[in-house]
């Protein structure tokens, strides 16, 4: 069959062509599983998410718009969103503050980043990485882990006002950085 373009395989998936559907899944299965695995860290859950991703791609193949991104980006975004939803649905587990430095580093460089090649999330990760470590930690604790300012303060052994200031300052710097035409030039 030769190397068909991704869009042709997606069209074949939409029309129900079994040969093209199998080729489509084989072409993207490792990448989709990799994104799901990077987000969840759970091989069984990642397999389930990969299957859901291909089912969703099959159901929505007719609405794919190549002007909005490649088939790879579209498919890995579906996988990423499903994986995020699955992680959120799980019971949250507290993270020790001493483990946060490692997690903040993961936010800036992951296999998921390469797979998604999503400009907006890359810019956000880069802006977060440029923040002072204390501000980045406070922002991650509040924004990603859903901790209150009081919980951040208790966890970091700092006054409540300091925790609030760190979160507010980090958010303001991110807003300024992401709104800037020369993104990343303003965070100090």
To the nearest 10°, the Cα dihedral for 175, 177, 183, 188?
-170
Any domain includes 23:
yes
Q: Which of 13, 11, 83, 20 is nearest to 53 (CA)?
A: 83
> Are the CB atoms for 71 and 7 separated by under 8 Å?
yes
- pTM, two decimals, is 0.48
The last residue of one of the domains, among 89, 121, 150, is: 89
Segment among 8-12, 32-36, 145-149 with least mean pLDDT: 8-12
Q: Which structure tokens are listed for 108?
A: 């800036």
Q: Which domain holds residue 140?
A: 98-179
CATH of the domain at 43: 1.10.1740.10
In this structure, the answer to whether residues 70 and 111 fall within a common structural domain is: no
**pLDDT, tens digit, 9 for 90 and up, residues 40-78:** 888 999 999 999 998 998 888 888 777 878 888 889 989
CATH of the domain at 128: 1.10.10.10
Q: Which structure tokens are listed for 186?
A: 């303003």
Q: pLDDT at position 117, please?
A: 44
**pLDDT, tens digit, 9 for 90 and up, residues 97-110:** 776 666 565 444 54
């Amino acid at each position: 069959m030769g190397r068909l373009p991704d869009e042709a395989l997606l069209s074949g998936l939409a029309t129900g062509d079994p040969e093209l559907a199998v080729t489509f899944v084989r072409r993207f299965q490792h990448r989709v599983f990799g994104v799901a695995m990077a987000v969840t860290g759970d091989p069984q859950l990642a397999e389930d998410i990969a299957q859901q991703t291909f089912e969703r791609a099959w159901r929505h193949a007719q609405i794919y718009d190549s002007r909005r991104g490649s088939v790879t980006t579209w498919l890995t975004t579906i996988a990423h969103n499903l994986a995020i939803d699955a992680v959120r649905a799980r019971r949250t587990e507290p993270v020790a503050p001493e483990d946060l430095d490692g997690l903040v580093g993961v936010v800036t460089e992951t296999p998921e980043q390469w797979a998604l090649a999503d400009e907006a999330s890359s810019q956000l990760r880069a802006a977060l990485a440029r923040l002072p470590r204390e501000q980045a930690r406070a922002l991650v604790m509040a924004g990603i882990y859903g901790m209150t300012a009081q919980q951040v303060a208790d966890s970091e052994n700092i006054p409540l006002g300091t925790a609030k200031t760190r979160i507010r300052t980090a958010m303001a710097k991110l807003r300024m950085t992401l709104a800037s035409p020369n993104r990343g030039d303003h965070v100090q």
